[in-house]
Amino acid sequence: MWKWMLAAVIFMPAIEIFGFSYVAEQVGGMNTLLLTLLTSAIGVAMMRFEGRKAMEDAKLKADSGMMPGESMAVGLCIFIGGILLIIPGFVTDIVGFTMLFPITRPIYRILLLKWMKKNIKNGKITIFKR
């Protein structure tokens, strides 16, 4: 896990700088800056809208006595996607948008649930019930 995080810390800024320079060459520096600010604003708005829907769904499931695990995974995907959109960069924006759109979000939700189940089984994640 730490190896992946170290690789991300080293390579992601380099990829984002390359993306910025490429887009700046194509559309100009000021347009690139405005595009970056626009994606951040859209990300915040989408995160609020989609997050509110996910929280309402989780609350409904919890009130009816069902486990809101899937709804919580959707909420986590929305949160991570929103954070990625707020971070400046076009690669993180692409991943963030795909995490926020309901059509592509199930891909991340399935991967997140698999990761969580694996780590719960291995004892790396503990769930406490009240």
Q: Read off the pLDDT of residues 14-42 as tens digits, 9 standing for 90 and up.
A: 999 999 899 999 999 899 999 989 988 88
Q: Residue 103's pLDDT band (boundaries 50, 70, 90)?
A: very high
Among candidate residues 104, 99, 105, the one with its CA nearest the CA of residue 85: 99
pTM of the model: 0.79
Q: With 80 as the cut, is the pLDDT of residue 126 above it?
A: no
**Residue 69: both structure tokens together:** 């695990």
Assess contact for 40 and 85: CB atoms under 8 A.
yes
Assess contact for 104 and 94: CB atoms under 8 A.
no
Residue 12: the pLDDT is 87
Phi, psi for 59 (deg, rounded to 5): -65, -40
pLDDT, tens digit (0-9, with 9 covering 90-100), for 62-86: 888 887 778 888 888 888 998 888 8
How big is the CA angle at 99 (ends 55 and 37), to the nearest 5 degrees? 100
Among candidate residues 78, 77, 97, the one with its CA nearest the CA of residue 35: 97
Q: How far is the C-alpha of 76 from the C-alpha of 122, rounded, in Å?
A: 21
Mean residue pLDDT across the chain? 86
Residue 66: the pLDDT is 81
Helices assigned H by DSSP within 28-126: 29-63, 69-86, 90-100, 105-121
Q: Residue 1's pLDDT band (boundaries 50, 70, 90)?
A: low
